[in-house]
Amino acid sequence: DFNSFVTRTNTCGELCSVHVGQEVTLYGWIQYQRQGLFLVLRDFQGLTQIIIPQDEAHSHVKKLLSNAPVESVVRVTGIVSPRPPGQENPKMPTGDIEVKAETAEILNPCKKLPFEIKDFIKKSEALRMQYRYLDLRSFQLQYNLRLRSQIVMRMREYLCNLHGFVDVETPTLFKRTPGGAKEFLVPSREAGKFYSLPQSPQQFKQLLMIGGLDRYFQVARCYRDEGSRPDRQPEFTQIDIEMSFVDQAGIQRLIEGLLQYSWPEERGCITTPFPSMTYKEALADYGTDKPDTRFGMKIVDISDFLQRSDIQFVQNALSYPHGTVKAICIPQGVRYLKNKDLESLKESAKSQFNQEIMEIICKPDGSLKSLLTKFLSEKQQSELIQALNMQVDDVVLLAAGEHKQVCSALGSLRLESADLLEAAGLVLRGPTTFHFLWVVDFPLFLPKEENPTELESAHHPFTAPHPSDTSLLYSDPTKVRSQHYDLVLNGSEVGGGSIRIHSAEQQRFVLEKVLKEDSEVLSHLLEALEFGAPPHGGIALGLDRLISLIVDAPSIRDVIAFPKSFRGRDLMGNAPDYVTPEELEPYHIQVSWPLAEKEAKQN
For residue range 372-430, list pLDDT tens digits in order. 888 888 888 898 999 999 999 999 999 999 999 999 999 999 999 999 999 999 999 98
Of the ranges 138-147, 425-434, 544-553, which one carries the lowest mean pLDDT score? 425-434
pLDDT per position as a tens digit, 8-61? 999 999 999 999 999 999 999 999 999 999 999 999 999 999 999 999 999 999
Residue 5 belongs to a domain: no
Residue 599 belongs to a domain: no
**CA 541, 291, 224, 564: dihedral to nearest 10 degrees?**
-90
Percent of the chain's residues with pLDDT above 70: 97
Q: What is the pLDDT of residue 277?
A: 98
Tell me the CATH number at 409: 3.30.1360.30
> Are residue 418 and residue 533 in the same domain, yes or no?
no
pLDDT over 90 at 191, yes or no: yes
118 confidence band (pLDDT: 50, 70, 90)? confident
Instruction: Give mean pLDDT, residues 514-524.
Output: 93
Which element (helix H / strand E) includes 132?
Answer: helix 132-135
pLDDT over 70 at 230, yes or no: no
Tell me the CATH number at 531: 3.30.930.10
Tell me the CATH number at 48: 2.40.50.140
pLDDT per position as a tens digit, 411-424? 999 999 999 999 99
Instruction: Give mean pLDDT, residues 498-503.
Output: 98
Q: What is the pLDDT of residue 161?
A: 98
- Name beta bridge partners: 499: 537
Among 401, 424, 447, the domain-final residue is 424
The DSSP letter of residue 504 is H
Residue 440 belongs to a domain: yes
> Are residue 408 and residue 361 in the same domain, yes or no?
yes
Domain containing 331 equals 295-424
The DSSP letter of residue 374 is G
Residue 459 belongs to a domain: yes
Contact 398, 359 (CB under 8 A): yes
Query: Among positive and negative, which fits the CA dihedral 498, 499, 504, 509?
Result: negative
pLDDT over 60 at 598, yes or no: no
Closest by alpha carbon to 572, among 134, 112, 131?
A: 131
Residue 114 belongs to a domain: no
pLDDT over 90 at 446, yes or no: yes
> Are residue 551 and residue 448 in the same domain, yes or no?
yes
Closest by alpha carbon to 357, among 313, 419, 423?
A: 313
> Are residue 441 and residue 420 in the same domain, yes or no?
no
Closest by alpha carbon to 41, among 1, 90, 97?
A: 97
Instruction: Give mean pLDDT, residues 482-496.
Output: 97
Residue 514 belongs to a domain: yes
Q: What is the pLDDT of residue 185?
A: 94
Q: What is the pLDDT of residue 122?
A: 87
Q: How many domains does the chain have?
A: 3
Query: How many other C-beta atoms are found inside a 10 Å radius of the C-beta of residue 468?
Result: 9
Query: How many other C-beta atoms are found inside a 10 Å radius of the C-beta of residue 130?
Result: 18
Query: How many other C-beta atoms are found inside a 10 Å radius of the C-beta of residue 1?
Result: 5
Q: What is the pLDDT of residue 231?
A: 65
> Are residue 335 and residue 272 in the same domain, yes or no?
no
> Are residue 255 and residue 304 in the same domain, yes or no?
no
**Distance from C-alpha of 407 to C-alpha of 412, rounded to nearest angstrom:** 9
> Are residue 387 and residue 305 in the same domain, yes or no?
yes
Q: What is the pLDDT of residue 378?
A: 86
Q: What is the pLDDT of residue 215?
A: 98
Q: What are phi and psi of 76, to 5 degrees?
A: -130, 130
Of the ranges 215-229, 502-516, 530-544, which one carries the lowest mean pLDDT score? 215-229
**Distance from C-alpha of 77 to C-alpha of 101, rounded to nearest angstrom:** 6
481 confidence band (pLDDT: 50, 70, 90)? very high
pLDDT per position as a tens digit, 326-362? 999 999 999 999 999 999 999 999 999 999 999 999 9
Closest by alpha carbon to 536, among 493, 495, 494, 507?
A: 507
The residue among 595 and 87 whose pLDDT is bigger is 87
Contact 336, 425 (CB under 8 A): yes
Please, what is the average pLDDT of the chain? 94
Residue 3 belongs to a domain: no
228 confidence band (pLDDT: 50, 70, 90)? low
Of the ranges 185-199, 239-253, 298-312, 482-496, which one carries the lowest mean pLDDT score? 298-312
List Cβ<8 Å contacts ≥24 apart for 141-144.
141/558, 142/44, 143/551, 144/547, 144/551, 144/553, 144/558, 144/559
531 confidence band (pLDDT: 50, 70, 90)? very high
Q: What is the pLDDT of residue 433?
A: 93
> Are residue 445 and residue 354 in the same domain, yes or no?
no
Peptide bond preceding 576 in cis form (omega within 30 of 0): yes
> Are residue 439 and residue 414 in the same domain, yes or no?
no
What is the β-pairing status of strands 323-330 and 300-301? Answer: antiparallel
Residue 121 belongs to a domain: no
Distances (CA, A) of 544 to 181, 330, 561: 18, 32, 11
Of the ranges 14-28, 219-233, 460-474, which one carries the lowest mean pLDDT score? 219-233
pLDDT over 70 at 180, yes or no: no
Instruction: Give mean pLDDT, residues 166-192.
Output: 90
> Are residue 415 and residue 483 in the same domain, yes or no?
no
**Distance from C-alpha of 99 to C-alpha of 20, rounded to nearest angstrom:** 9
> Are residue 39 and residue 104 in the same domain, yes or no?
yes
**Distance from C-alpha of 322 to C-alpha of 386, rounded to nearest angstrom:** 25
What is the β-pairing status of strands 436-440 and 358-362? Answer: unpaired
Among 93, 108, 123, the domain-final residue is 108
**Distance from C-alpha of 414 to C-alpha of 349, rounded to nearest angstrom:** 11
- Cβ within 8 Å of residue 467, ≥6 positions away: 483
Contact 246, 478 (CB under 8 A): no
**Distance from C-alpha of 95 to C-alpha of 88, rounded to nearest angstrom:** 5
Q: What are phi and psi of 417, to 5 degrees?
A: -65, -40
What is the β-pairing status of strands 536-542 and 235-244? Answer: antiparallel
> Are residue 350 and residue 408 in the same domain, yes or no?
yes
CA angle 219, 211, 486 (to 5 degrees): 45
Among 108, 134, 151, the domain-final residue is 108
- Cβ within 8 Å of residue 526, ≥6 positions away: 504, 507, 508, 519
pLDDT over 60 at 596, yes or no: no
Q: What is the pLDDT of residue 592?
A: 83
DSSP string, 435-487: -EEEEE--BSEEE-SS-TTSEEESS-TTBPBPGGGTTHHHH-GGG-BBSEEEE
